[in-house]
């Protein structure tokens, strides 16, 4: 018998005839002084992911562990950490295990106590869940700045930073309830998925509103709500046909994370004799000439002083973040992940992480933030790419930063010079041959880390309409940052992130003006937190975006069609999205003067087209050399297509 059984027999708490004789009422529940945490918080039957519990409590490594309460579950192994206050416990859950409450029994020579652990029944078809695809449009929300649905949680006793809506880098009070309250707005825009920046507890004393310095990987920040409300948000989003993507940060935690006071292992995080930051350079990860010094600084250096860098080479840490990801998918019924600062992680463990998530959920999409201007370096990080070094990230999707840069360079440029204007987008897409899967490219014109596209384009509604047209029709998965559909601009460009992450007017109880309603969007000139618009222009841009993204929802040729584009030197850009049944023609005139569409240039595909319709006006459209396109305008025409043609 092991020490646990012997101790229970000696105290009379367990008859030596076997587990069936165990009476839980004779054993005290663990106090918070004995066990402070067991993670993951719960588990499910029928999972492929091996379960390893991380148990934290004073001197807990002195205890043996067994499990009682139902057949089919047993302790397979116990691992002790360097800190005496941790145990890592492997549980074996057989396929025939009964769902329910189990008792973890902790015992040493003098003490025995129990801890209740829930192993629930897995939701039917959970493993076959759908994820976000090219059929979706993702709406990006920074929750603290979107809407305040519950002012009572703006500040809480158990968190360090209190609300101060006037502080650019402070907490403003937006929360999960605020998002729930405005799901109709998101749905009406034509979005089909929501990506929220991190909602987990960030307990830094300053700048905690963004959520990227996690203090507890299993707790929603109480200033946003709680775990149950987050799950309710996902359920309500699903009821409206909206998917939910969780923002994951496996590269670093926050300095206020609870384990920073007592690390299980010295190498749980990367530590140096003095503060060492990352070099913010991805090249060493794939550069055949890279030094070990540069690679180590990339992977091990801290992102900023308040964000300790996690060591994914530690096998317990890697298993911890695998289970963390799977737990949130199963618990909240998630539809996808966005992974922050992806290339800063150790690349081989992160490849294993992606593989583990997709082993559990084969159709689950994960998009990584790989912020690089280099197209070959970006392509390196997409799973399935034919990399010279044989590395496969297993990361399905990547954020298309080169295209983001091309759009932002092209639109403000009035010069049709060689390599300028809309040619920048053409040039970017000519490199599509380097990517493993064009259907898994997230395309965008801005996000929470970039200058507002409204600032860049000086609130020019015509050019902002072109932006929305490009996002709605180019290859990939489009993403819109909340407010860009309404010409949001920064409150103060000199404030950096704090200035561009403006509050959404109407999201707070005391707001006198709202952009969540058509009436508010048609209002006279106003300025609230940088969201300045002229009469009706916000509504005009919103209607343009909503019409295109609403149309896009059911447009298979946009979701899966090929691209055929044409070079020009007059600050225009023409391309077709096509399959064997239909084609969509997009013509962007970014020039300051009107131009006529050169249909004869497109004869290789137009010969197969018939029954054209202008998507924005609904009018029938013929292919004629007299088609004129006004300055700063994008034309979108859908055609039926005859089969058995050259471009199939």
562-641 folds as: Immunoglobulin-like (2.60.40)
CA distances from 241 to 107, 131, 134, 231, 482 (A): 49, 12, 15, 15, 18
Q: Is 191 helix (H, G, I), strand (E, B) or coil?
A: coil
CB-CB neighbours of 454 under 10 Å: 27
Provide the pLDDT for residue 533: 54
Question: What are residue 246's phi and psi, to 5 degrees?
Answer: -95, 135
Of the candidate ranges 467-471, 472-476, 534-538, the one whose mean pLDDT is the lowest: 534-538
Average pLDDT over residues 249-278: 98
Question: Residue 66: beta bridge partners?
Answer: 105
Residues of the chain with CATH 2.60.40.10: 3-124
Asked whether residue 22 carries a pLDDT value surpassing 50, the answer given is yes
d(Cα 321, Cα 317) in Å, to the nearest integer? 6
Which H or E element spans position 456?
Answer: helix 453-456
Q: Which of 247, 340, 455, 511 is catalytic?
A: 340
Produce one character per residue of 73-97: b if its CB has 16 or more CB atoms within 10 Å, e if not.
bebeebeebebebbbbbebebeeeb
Considering the chain, tell me which residue range(s) the CATH 3.20.20.80 domain(s) occupy: 135-552
For the chain, give percent helix, strand, coil, nearest 5. 30, 20, 45
Contact 293, 193 (CB under 8 A): no
> From CA 76, how far away is CA 113, in angstroms rounded?
20
Per-residue pLDDT, 532: 54
Is the model's pLDDT at 647 over the cut of 80?
A: no
pLDDT at 617: 96
pLDDT band per the 50, 70, 90 thresholds, residue 522: confident
Mark 322-347 as b/e (b = at least 16 C-beta within 10 Å): bbbbbbbbbbbbbbbbbbbbbbbbbb
Q: Tell me which residue of 571, 572, 532 sits closest to 452, measured CA to CA.
A: 532
pLDDT above 80 for 104: yes
Is 202 within 8 Å of 214 (Cβ atoms)? Answer: yes
CA 598 from chain center: how many Å? 41
Contact 156, 220 (CB under 8 A): no
d(CA 317, CA 323): 10
For the chain, give the percent of residues with pLDDT over 70. 94
From the candidates 187, 369, 485, 503, give the one annotated as an active-site residue.
369
Cα dihedral value 159, 164, 170, 171, nearest 10: 60
Question: What would the pLDDT profile of 358-373 be if each residue is shown by its tens digit?
Answer: 999 999 999 999 999 9
- Is residue 112 a contact partner of residue 106, using CB atoms and an 8 Å limit? yes
Peptide bond into 40 cis (omega under 30): yes
DSSP 12-24: TSS-TT-GGG--G
Domain boundaries for CATH 2.60.40.1180 within the chain: 562-641
Whole-number pLDDT of residue 315: 98
Give the integer Cα–Cα distance in Å for 600 and 383: 40
pLDDT tens column, 425-461: 999 999 999 999 999 999 999 999 999 999 999 999 9
Q: Is the pLDDT of residue 7 over 80?
A: no
| Whole-number Cα distances in Å, 563 to 137, 179, 475, 560 | 19, 35, 7, 10
Please report how the helices 315-332 and 227-239 are oriented relative to each other, as an axis angle in degrees rounded to 10: 50
* Token couple for 626: 């007299």
Question: Which residue spans within 280-364 are E strands per DSSP?
Answer: 336-339
> Strand pairing partners for 138?
193, 479
Read off the tokens for 41.
């918080």
Average pLDDT over residues 328-335: 98
CATH class of domain segment(s) 3-124: mainly beta
Instruction: Identify the residue whose tokens are 């066990």.
Output: 35
Burial of 34 from C-beta contacts in 10 A (0-12 / 13-18 / 19+) = middle
User: For 38-57, how does the pLDDT look when each residue is reduced to its tens digit (9 = 90+)?
Assistant: 999 999 999 999 999 999 99
Predicted confidence at residue 3, as pLDDT, reads 43
Residue 598 exposed, middle or buried by CB count within 10 Å (0-12, 13-18, 19+)? middle
Q: What's the CATH class of domain 135-552?
A: alpha beta
- 352 is known as an active-site residue: no
Q: 């663990």: which residue's tokens? A: 30
Residue 346 and residue 382 in contact, taking contact as beta carbons nearer than 8 Å: no
Per DSSP, the three-state class of 274 is: coil
Distance CA 324, CA 250 (A): 10
**Plot region of 562 (φ>0 → left; ψ -120 to 50 → alpha; else → beta):** beta
- 276: which 2 tokens? 């060492």
**Annotated catalytic residue 369:** yes
Q: 198: closest CA among 132, 141, 252, 136? A: 141
Average pLDDT over residues 169-182: 98
**Coil, strand, or helix at residue 474?**
coil
Residue pair 495/168 in contact (Cβ under 8 Å)? The answer is yes
pLDDT-above-90 percentage for the chain: 88
Work out the number of other CB atoms within 10 angstroms of the CB of residue 563: 15
Distance of CA 611 to the CA centre of its chain: 40
From 224, 234, 120, select the one nearest 172 (Cα to Cα): 224
- Per-residue model confidence (pLDDT) at position 25: 83
Q: Which residues pair with 481 in a beta bridge?
A: 140
- The confidence score (pLDDT) of residue 107 equals 97
Lowest mean pLDDT among 73-82, 360-369, 515-524: 515-524
Q: Which residues in 435-580 belong to E strands, given as ranges?
A: 441-444, 477-481, 562-566, 572-578
Residue 16 confidence (pLDDT): 33
Number of C-beta neighbours around residue 35 at 10 A: 21
- Output the average pLDDT for the chain: 93
The position carrying tokens 């300025």 is: 527
- CA neighbor of 548 nearest in space, from 584, 505, 590, 599: 584
Tokens standing for residue 469: 């047209």
Q: Quick one: pLDDT at residue 416?
A: 73
**Beta carbons of 153 and 223 less than 8 angstroms apart:** yes
């Amino acid at each position: 018998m092991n020490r646990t059984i012997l101790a229970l027999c000696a105290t009379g708490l367990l008859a030596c005839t076997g587990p069936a004789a165990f009476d839980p009422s004779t054993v005290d529940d663990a106090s918070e002084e004995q066990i402070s945490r067991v993670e993951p918080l719960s588990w499910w039957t029928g999972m492929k992911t091996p379960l390893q519990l991380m148990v934290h409590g004073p001197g807990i490594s002195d205890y043996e562990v067994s499990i009682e309460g139902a057949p089919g579950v047993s302790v397979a192994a116990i691992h002790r950490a360097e800190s005496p206050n941790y145990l890592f416990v492997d549980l074996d859950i057989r396929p025939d295990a009964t769902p329910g409450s189990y008792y973890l029994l902790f015992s040493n020579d003098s003490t025995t106590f129990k801890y209740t652990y829930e192993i629930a029944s897995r939701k039917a078809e959970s493993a076959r869940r759908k994820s976000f695809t090219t059929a979706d449009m993702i709406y990006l929300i920074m929750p603290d700045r979107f809407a305040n649905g519950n002012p009572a949680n703006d500040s809480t006793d158990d968190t360090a930073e209190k609300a101060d809506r006037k502080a650019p880098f402070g907490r403003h009070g937006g929360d999960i309830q605020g998002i729930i309250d405005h799901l109709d707005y998101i749905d009406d825009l034509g979005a089909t998925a929501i990506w929220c920046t991190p909602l987990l507890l960030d307990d830094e004393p300053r700048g905690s509103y963004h959520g990227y310095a996690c203090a507890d990987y299993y707790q929603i920040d109480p200033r946003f709500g709680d775990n149950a409300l987050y799950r309710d948000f996902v359920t309500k989003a699903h009821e409206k046909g909206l998917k939910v993507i969780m923002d994951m940060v496996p590269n670093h935690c926050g300095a206020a994370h609870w384990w920073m006071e007592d690390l299980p292992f010295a190498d749980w995080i990367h530590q140096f004799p003095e503060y060492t930051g990352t070099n913010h350079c991805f090249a060493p990860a794939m550069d055949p000439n890279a030094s070990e010094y540069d690679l180590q600084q990339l992977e091990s250096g801290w992102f900023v002083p308040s964000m300790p860098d996690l060591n994914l080479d530690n096998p317990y840490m890697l298993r911890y973040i695998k289970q963390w990801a799977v737990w949130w998918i199963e618990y909240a019924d998630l539809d996808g992940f966005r992974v922050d600062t992806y290339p800063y992680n150790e690349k081989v463990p992160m490849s294993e992480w992606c593989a583990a998530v997709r082993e559990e959920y084969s159709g689950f999409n994960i998009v990584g933030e790989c912020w690089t201007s280099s197209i070959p370096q970006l392509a390196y990080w997409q799973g399935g790419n034919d990399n010279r070094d044989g590395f496969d990230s297993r990361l399905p999707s990547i954020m298309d930063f080169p295209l983001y840069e091309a759009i932002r360079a092209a639109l403000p440029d009035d010069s049709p010079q060689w390599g300028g204007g809309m040619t920048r987008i053409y040039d970017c897409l000519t490199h599509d041959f380097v990517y493993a899967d064009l259907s898994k490219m997230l395309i965008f014109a801005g996000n929470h880390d970039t200058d507002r596209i409204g600032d860049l384009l000086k609130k020019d509604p015509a050019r902002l309409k072109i932006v929305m047209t490009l996002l709605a029709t180019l290859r990939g998965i489009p993403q819109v940052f909340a407010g860009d559909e309404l010409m949001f601009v920064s409150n103060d460009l000199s404030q950096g992130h704090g200035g561009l992450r403006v509050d959404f007017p109407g999201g707070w109880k005391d707001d006198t003006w709202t952009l969540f309603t058509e009436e508010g969007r048609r209002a006279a000139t106003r300025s609230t937190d940088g969201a300045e618009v002229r009469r009706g222009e916000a509504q005009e841009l919103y209607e343009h975006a909503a019409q295109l993204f609403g149309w896009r929802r059911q447009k298979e040729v946009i979701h899966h069609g090929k691209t055929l584009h044409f070079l020009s030197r007059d600050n225009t850009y023409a391309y077709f999205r096509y399959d064997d049944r239909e084609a969509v023609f997009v013509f962007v005139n970014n020039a300051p003067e009107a131009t006529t569409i050169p249909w004869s240039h497109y004869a290789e595909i137009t010969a197969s087209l018939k029954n054209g319709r202008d998507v924005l006006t609904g009018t029938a459209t013929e292919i004629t050399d007299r088609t004129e396109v006004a300055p700063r305008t994008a034309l979108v025409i859908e055609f039926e297509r005859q089969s058995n043609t050259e471009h199939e």
